[in-house]
Amino acid sequence: MSRILLSLIMSLAVLVANAQRICGFADYRQQIIHNTPGLADKITSIEAFTRRLQATRPQPSSNSVTASSVITIPVVVHVIYNSSIQNLSDAQVQSQIDVLNRDYRRQNADTANTPSYFQPFAADCGFHFVLAKVDPHGYATRGIVRKHTDVQQFNINDAIKFSSSNGDDAWDADSYFNIWVGDLTGGVLGYASVVGGPKANDGVVISYKAFGTMGTAAAPFNEGRTGTHETGHWLNLIHTWGDADCGDDKVDDTPPQQAAEYGCPSGIVISCTDGPNGEMYTNYMDFTNDACMNIFTLGQRERMRALFEPEGVRYPMLSSGALAATALDDTAGISGEPEAVALVSVYPNPAADLVTVSMTDQNAIGATIELYNQVGQRVISQKISQLTFQINIGTLNRGIYYLKINDGKSKNVTKLVKF
């Protein structure tokens, strides 16, 4: 019996030692492009936009970014569990958020492990990740959704992203970075959506065995770098070898590379035409173990941040209300004394463009109706000349808004959802 037990332990040790990173992004990318008409053209357009920005900007002059230019990204984590062990703790979820914040600000403790000849290219990417405080309906949230599923394992067909297939639906991709955590087939540690793909599929999926730095996270993928890697894809990065033999990752300061590197290489590894310093196998977008990843480059930073420029795919996220300090509820007032004039109805709600407001109190005539976003900014102000009228919200970003009568007395607020 003891010999059998020893044999099992040795076998497990060999499996762990030989564990290799498997990212499903390249296969998923081919799959989603094939199944989504027009996506290939959209990807080409996004790439052209990125190249134009890179061509018109000066070369980065600093490895760091200013505090005012840090981009804050609201996150929602969908924990999809079949067994109780997969229902990750809040602490484990937060440990992954902490890793993202260290790695994307180059505050990770292992920066010293970046080879000296690559240090000049190492970048603080200027992203800050925060679990959402307001859900898509305007209510307070911890930014974590927990949902039991009857599915034992998910593959890269996106079933985990939809309630109809025993997963969980995405929150509005223009306001939230969606992360799904569950059990994945075939040893896949994670995969990411394609920038420009369907919004209902937008986000990253990570195995519960490679998420965060505690609990179910298993070596050698227990330092949260799967999350860092997949988030890089979500921010439009490609594997360092361009998913081809000496392929193009669209970044000028990452050396050419023949194929993925695994484990923890050391010294100079030459392939393609990347001499004299060789491959950047410590890059987060390679396939090395968590402990051996420690760098994004200046070029990768510029590529990622291009998404948040005006007209960029992720630009709407900059006006997300998901991190409002206080979530408003249906009766929360913005200011004023006890209620005098009430809104009777707003329809349709949710709405995409025109909404009709109907009231019964003649005292509303002459007052102003105002629309506020989730952070309390007034986005529409309109005089009330009759009890039934329309408001055009077509130019507003999708999200939660609040209608209020501004007559110096009323504090009644009606919630309006723009989709």
Give catalytic residues, as residue numbers: 230
Q: Which residues contact 271 (CB under 8 A, 6 or more apart)?
A: 246, 256, 257, 258, 259, 278, 279
> Could you please report the per-residue DSSP string of 20-83?
---B-HHHHHHHHHHHSTTHHHHHHHHHHHHHHHHHHSPPP--SS--GGGPEEEEEEEEEEESS
Inter-residue contact 290 to 280 (CB < 8 Å)? no
Q: Cα-Cα-Cα-Cα dihedral of 195, 198, 247, 312, to 10°?
A: -20
Dihedrals phi, psi of 388, to nearest 5 degrees: -125, 125
d(CA 239, CA 259): 9
**Could you tell me the maximum CA-CA distance found in the chain, to the nearest angstrom?**
88
Dihedrals phi, psi of 402, to nearest 5 degrees: -135, 125
